[in-house]
Chain A
């Protein structure tokens, strides 16, 4: 079983739509969770951290369910510029341990 699993998509949605991505992780000892965004042939960029209580940043809402080992990202009022690959990322423990990346979910927002 992969450490971080995501539906690869693609998700093709019209502008203004709401879209949700899900992710599951296998290591129950995982401590930190993130969503990154990666544009084609570019490095990943941090979109937001994910906290146990859930958190929101503008049009983006992230949720974490530790019991189910499940993370979600909700994007409201999609913009064309949201088109990218969204990477679910998990850090297994504290300290200088590396990030573990999911394969990513591709989103295309269409005019």
Chain B
């Protein structure tokens, strides 16, 4: 079945540094990928929609200059958390839908990245 690989699965970084998270669709093409964030005991909240070859669409309250998204190919989207702060510590999950599939086709999720900023 379709697999989405997300890397790294866990990262600890110091405040002020940047962290890049990769989301790769391994056996299908994804024109659109979604980036979610989940704080403890909260729901997954959409941060942005990543579109191949064009600018990402950010949700209200998500700073585009802080969370840089690049979707340069049909199989890879990256999220860079710039100048990370402790409040950015969270579980970041990407998801992708295979290009050309129907509305009820499932989203395939990466296994998530647990970011801890110290």
Contacts and interface: CB of A to CB of B under 8 A. Distances in A.
Contact of B43 (A31, A43, A46, A87): A87
A99 B103 contact: no
Interface in A67-111: 87, 91, 94-96, 98-104
A42 interface: yes
A98 B46 contact: yes
A99 B36 CA distance: 10
B28 interface: no
Contacts of B64: none
A43 B34 contact: no
Contacts of A44: 44, 93, 109
- Please classify the interface of chain A as helix (H, G, I), strand (E, B), loop, or mixed, using the class held by over half of its residues: loop
A5 to B, nearest CB: 10
Interface stretch (B13-21, B69-77, B80-88, B110-118): B110-118
Nearest to A46: B106
Contacts of A42: 111-112
B32 interface: yes
- Please classify the interface of chain B as helix (H, G, I), strand (E, B), loop, or mixed, using the class held by over half of its residues: loop
Given A43-B111, A96-B97, A99-B34, A32 B103 contact: yes
A58 B105 CA distance: 20
Contacts of B44: 44, 87, 101
B73 to A, nearest CB: 17
Interface in B34-80: 34, 36, 41-46, 49
B103 A41 contact: no
A37 to B, nearest CB: 11
A50 to B, nearest CB: 10
B93 A43 contact: yes
A49 interface: yes
A20 to B, nearest CB: 20
Contacts of B46: 98-100
Interface of B: 31-32, 34, 36, 41-46, 49, 91, 93, 95, 97, 103-104, 106-107, 109-112, 114
8 contacts: A41-B112, A42-B111, A44-B44, A44-B93, A46-B107, A49-B106, A95-B103, A103-B43
